[in-house]
């Protein structure tokens, strides 16, 4: 088990992380989410041993992990960290980069392992291409294969798909996270992209201004949003007074755009401010009373037109009980 125990860290007396606590069991995938500057990358660097803690400690299997002042080469041998700068060798091939830390005593096994990893990230066609000739997204995939080469016990990934094209990204997510589960490699991913976590993470830890806001399963955090900040990490979100839909106490709830639907039989009418094509649906900006709402619609609606809207009463009551 990897255990992060009440850790705090500051740059030049500016607090970056404050009293972060969580445990990660073997083979689990934990995602760290939050807006830019919330401390996600710093947390990964601390876990890997690149920065010195101000307070708290980190242990792995009950053994304390020490910072850079205790190692000639910072880092831990059982752990790999993929930063956002990739750290590849540009003047050798993709295959040579991936196999750089594999033993040369068994060349056939090394070659087989190298191509297995290139296949996981979809880069076998570029095995002999020098890294300097690859795009940023292709380099990121080679960097992913490289950190997997020695099958680390713990893998730390900082925005691991940020430069990869969307049509490649989804396939790579499935391949990579399935491989990590199969090999029982513990993974901590820092990301701001909901697609990196909803289908793949076992738990999400949300950071804001260096503080640990909440921790729960992806389905629990998404389906039962209890604060605007966390909900907004997954999608646009409406903060709505419950009285807009039902007579009740004066209380705000959170509703995603897809949870408010068009129903022209409804007596609750809203004015369309703008209509945006989103491919397989339209995003509508609406004005109703003193509320501005974003909702999804299967059809386009002209700005200035009136539409009826509705929302599940059970959902409204559920959210009213959950909102903090």
Model confidence pLDDT, tens digit, residues 174-209: 999 999 999 999 999 999 889 888 899 999 999 999
Residues 291 and 172 grouped into a single domain? no
pLDDT of 271 higher than 70: yes
pLDDT for 291: 87
Same domain, 183 and 215: yes
* pLDDT class of 75 with cuts at 50, 70, 90: confident
Q: Which position has the higher pLDDT, 178 or 87?
A: 178
Q: What's the pLDDT band for 320 if we cut at 50, 70, 90?
A: confident
Task: Verify that 60 and 198 share a domain, yes or no.
Answer: yes
What value does the mean pLDDT of the chain take?
91
| 89 and 224 belong to one structural domain | yes
Of the residues 169, 196, 228, the one at which a domain ends: 228
84 and 163 fall within a common domain: yes
Let me know whether 94 and 178 are in one domain: yes
Mean pLDDT of 266-282: 93
Q: What is the pLDDT of residues 41-61, one digit of tens each?
A: 999 999 999 999 989 999 999
Return the percentage of the chain with pLDDT > 70, whole number.
99
pLDDT for the residue 322: 58
What's the whole-number mean pLDDT along residues 52-72?
90
Q: How many domains does the chain have?
A: 2
Report the pLDDT averaged over residues 224-252: 89
Q: Do 222 and 175 reside in the same domain of the chain? A: yes
Helices 107-120 and 136-148: crossing angle in degrees, nearest 10, is 130
Give the model's pLDDT for residue 41: 94
The CATH number for 267's domain is 2.40.50.140
Q: 138 with 260, same domain?
A: no
249 and 147 in a common domain: no
Global pTM reads: 0.89
pLDDT at 273: 95
Q: Is the pLDDT of residue 168 over 90?
A: no
Decide if 84 contacts 30 (C-beta within 8 A). no
pLDDT at 323: 57
pLDDT value at 215 more than 80 = yes
Domain that holds residue 159: 2-228
Which of 228, 249, 283 delimits the end of a domain?
228
Q: Which of 228, 254, 279 is the last residue of a domain?
A: 228
Statement to judge: residues 153 and 7 lie in one domain: yes
Note whether 160 and 188 are same-domain residues: yes
67 against 272, higher pLDDT: 272
Q: Look up the CATH number of the domain holding residue 124.
A: 3.40.50.300
Position 238 confidence tier, pLDDT thresholds 50, 70, 90: very high
Output the pLDDT for position 72.
76
Residues 125 and 66 in one domain: yes
């Amino acid at each position: 088990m990897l255990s992060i125990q009440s850790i705090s860290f500051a740059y030049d007396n500016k607090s970056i992380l404050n009293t972060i606590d969580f445990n990660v069991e073997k083979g689990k995938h934990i995602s760290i989410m939050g807006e830019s500057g919330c401390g996600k990358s710093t947390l990964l660097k601390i876990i890997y041993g690149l920065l010195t803690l101000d307070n708290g400690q980190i242990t792995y299997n009950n053994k304390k992990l020490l910072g850079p002042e205790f190692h000639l080469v910072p880092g831990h041998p059982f752990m790999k960290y993929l930063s956002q700068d990739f750290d590849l060798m540009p003047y050798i091939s993709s295959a040579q980069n991936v196999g750089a830390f594999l033993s040369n005593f068994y060349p056939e096994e090394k070659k087989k392992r190298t191509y297995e990893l290139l296949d996981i990230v979809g880069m076998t066609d570029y095995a002999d291409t020098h890294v300097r000739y690859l795009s940023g997204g292709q380099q990121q995939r080679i960097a992913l294969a490289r950190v997997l080469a020695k099958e680390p016990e713990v893998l730390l990934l900082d925005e691991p798909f940020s430069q990869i094209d969307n049509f490649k990204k989804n396939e790579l997510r499935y391949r990579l996270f399935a491989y990590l589960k199969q090999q029982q490699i513990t993974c901590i991913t820092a990301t701001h992209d909901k697609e990196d976590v909803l289908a793949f993470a076992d738990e999400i830890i949300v950071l804001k201004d260096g503080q640990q806001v909440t921790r729960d399963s992806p389905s629990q955090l998404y389906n039962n949003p209890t604060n605007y900040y966390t909900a907004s990490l997954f999608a646009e979100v409406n903060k709505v007074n419950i009285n807009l839909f039902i007579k009740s106490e004066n209380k705000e709830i959170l509703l995603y755009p897809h949870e408010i639907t068009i129903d022209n039989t409804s007596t609750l009418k809203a004015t369309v401010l703008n209509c945006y094509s989103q491919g397989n649906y339209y995003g509508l900006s609406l004005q109703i009373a003193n509320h501005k709402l974003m909702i999804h619609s299967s059809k386009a609606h002209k700005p200035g037109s009136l539409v009826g809207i509705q929302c599940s009463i059970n959902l409204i009551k559920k959210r009213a009980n959950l909102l903090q």
